């Protein structure tokens, strides 16, 4: 059991970690690591030392951050969206994401041949392979869709173990994609010109929030989330995140919303809370307790994701060489829209926020199909 499990106390600890991480980026070493990476690292550290809850003993606060804070953060960040800058980034992002999806699918089959998980996991290994293909193309929606098709969630220990491994690998891949642009840009320099002009006449990093702006932003965020969920309920084929994003982009074009200050910093802080929970979910002990099964699952999953990384990075080497965009597209595959947006913010690539959401939605659309395809092939 963790030392602290009270919701308010855990929120205080997460807030302290965010503050420490922000200040740490002002040091010589910290500025190269970035706030996002430091938040994940510090939170994973305190969670694995059982100071705060992790995935196996998750609290309601984590669910609230995943279900409400993360999507509303996307809405706030899109209130600064410039459609002109987004158009240029859209197609390369989609192409790179699709290449990454192919890399994931082939990576799962390659890892199957190398690790042979069926020797330990039996027939369930095929289902796990399909679930991992789905989640590393789209997200948890695809993971659970495939699991429910085969009633895999009834296999308690193995289902929980697969989730634990997925959490660990996802968190580690966020750290990896944060480092990739730093490493690869030194070997193969990018010749991409970056356009970050979201607010032409002011710096969003220095925006000053007043009480009126804060009141309106909180109202708009809650209202947009509520109505996006309501519309998605009656139109289930349209993802709620896409509806919420549409609200954000539409409002961003109005004069009234343009006058509201603080949406970027408010959204960014919410993204940091989301990343803190990702770090807390990076639970190595849960994988260790599974013993042989955990080791096989971790090797199988890690090798598949590494193969995906190799494919998408090689593609980037010979084509776009926009290492930020490639890392974000990869994260959209493995971690989903929210973590991809966190990377876009960390890299100061505001032009890639909306494309991150779009490819995340695309991943949800094709992830389940690719998952079933892998099960059929294997």
Q: What does the pLDDT read at residue 302?
A: 94
Axis crossing angle, helix 353-377 with helix 337-346, rounded to the nearest 10:
140
- Residue 68: DSSP 8-state: I
Phi, psi of 254 (to 5 degrees): -90, 150
The dihedral formed by the CA atoms of 212, 214, 216 and 218, expressed in degrees to the nearest 10: -160
- Under the banding of pLDDT at 50, 70 and 90, the label for residue 281 is confident
Q: What does the pLDDT read at residue 20?
A: 95
Q: What is the mean pLDDT of residues 346-367?
A: 81
Burial tier of 156 (Cβ tally within 10 Å: 0-12, 13-18, 19+): exposed
For the cut 50, the answer to whether the pLDDT of residue 334 exceeds it is yes
Q: What is the mean pLDDT of residues 116-132?
A: 91
- Range picked from 154-168, 223-237, 271-285, 352-366 for highest mean pLDDT: 223-237
- Range picked from 130-139, 240-249, 284-293, 311-320 for highest mean pLDDT: 130-139
Q: Alpha-carbon distance 154 to 134, whole Å?
A: 19
Higher per-residue confidence, 87 vs 376: 376
Q: What does the pLDDT read at residue 83?
A: 62
With contact defined as beta carbons under 8 Å apart, do 371 and 134 qualify?
yes
Q: What does the pLDDT read at residue 190?
A: 65
Query: What's the pTM?
Result: 0.76
For the cut 90, the answer to whether the pLDDT of residue 105 exceeds it is yes
Q: What does the pLDDT read at residue 192?
A: 61
Concatenated DSSP letters of 176-242: HHHHHHHHHHHHS---PPP---SSTTS-GGG----HHHHHHHHHHHHHHHHHHHHHHHHSTTS-HHH
pLDDT tens-digit series, residues 54-99: 877 889 999 999 889 988 988 888 887 666 655 555 778 889 999 9
Q: What does the pLDDT read at residue 201?
A: 35
Residue ranges of domains in the chain: 66-377
Q: Alpha-carbon distance 370 to 351, whole Å?
A: 29
Q: What does the pLDDT read at residue 202?
A: 40
Average pLDDT, the chain: 85
User: What percent of the chain has a predicted confidence (pLDDT) above 90?
Assistant: 36
Q: What does the pLDDT read at residue 203?
A: 45
Write b or e for each residue in 286-313: b if 16 or more Cβ atoms lie within 10 A of its Cβ, otherwise e. bbeebeebbebbbebbbbbbbbbbebbb
- Under the banding of pLDDT at 50, 70 and 90, the label for residue 311 is very high
- Under the banding of pLDDT at 50, 70 and 90, the label for residue 330 is very high
pLDDT tens-digit series, residues 175-208: 889 888 878 777 777 656 555 444 333 444 456 7
């Amino acid at each position: 059991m963790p030392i602290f499990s009270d919701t308010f106390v855990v929120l205080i600890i997460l807030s302290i970690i965010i503050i420490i991480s922000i200040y740490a980026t002002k040091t010589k070493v910290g500025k190269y690591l970035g706030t996002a990476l430091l938040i994940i690292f510090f939170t994973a550290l305190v969670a694995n030392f059982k100071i705060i809850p992790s995935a196996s003993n998750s609290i309601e606060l984590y669910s609230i951050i995943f279900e409400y804070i993360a999507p509303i953060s996307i809405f706030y960040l899109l209130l600064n969206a410039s459609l002109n800058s987004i158009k240029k980034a859209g197609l390369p992002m989609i192409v790179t994401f699709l290449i990454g999806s192919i890399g994931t699918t082939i990576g799962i089959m390659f890892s199957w041949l190398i690790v042979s998980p069926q020797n330990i996991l039996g027939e369930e290994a095929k289902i796990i392979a399909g679930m991992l293909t789905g989640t590393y193309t789209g997200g948890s929606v695809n993971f659970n869709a495939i699991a429910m098709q085969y009633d895999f969630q009834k296999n308690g220990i193995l289902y929980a173990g697969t989730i634990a491994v997925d959490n660990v690998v996802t968190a580690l891949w966020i750290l990896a994609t944060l480092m990739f642009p730093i490493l690869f840009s030194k070997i193969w320099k990018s010749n991409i010109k970056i356009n970050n002009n979201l607010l032409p006449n002011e710096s969003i990093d220095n925006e000053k929030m007043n009480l009126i702006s804060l009141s309106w932003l909180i109202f708009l965020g809650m209202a947009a989330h509520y109505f996006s969920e309501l519309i998605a309920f009656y139109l289930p084929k349209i993802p709620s995140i896409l509806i919420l994003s549409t609200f954000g982009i539409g409002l961003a074009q109005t004069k009234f919303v343009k006058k509201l200050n603080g949406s970027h910093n408010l959204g960014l802080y919410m993204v940091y809370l989301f990343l803190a929970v990702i770090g807390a979910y990076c639970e190595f002990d849960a994988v260790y307790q599974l013993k042989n099964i955990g080791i096989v699952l971790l090797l199988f999953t890690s090798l598949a994701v590494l193969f995906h990384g190799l494919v998408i990075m090689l593609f980037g080497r010979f084509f776009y060489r926009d290492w930020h965009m490639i890392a974000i597209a990869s994260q959209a595959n493995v971690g989903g829209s929210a973590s991809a947006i966190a990377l876009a913010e960390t890299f100061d690539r505001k032009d890639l926020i909306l494309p991150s959401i779009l490819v995340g939605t695309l991943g949800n659309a094709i992830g389940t199909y690719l998952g079933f395809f892998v099960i059929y092939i294997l």
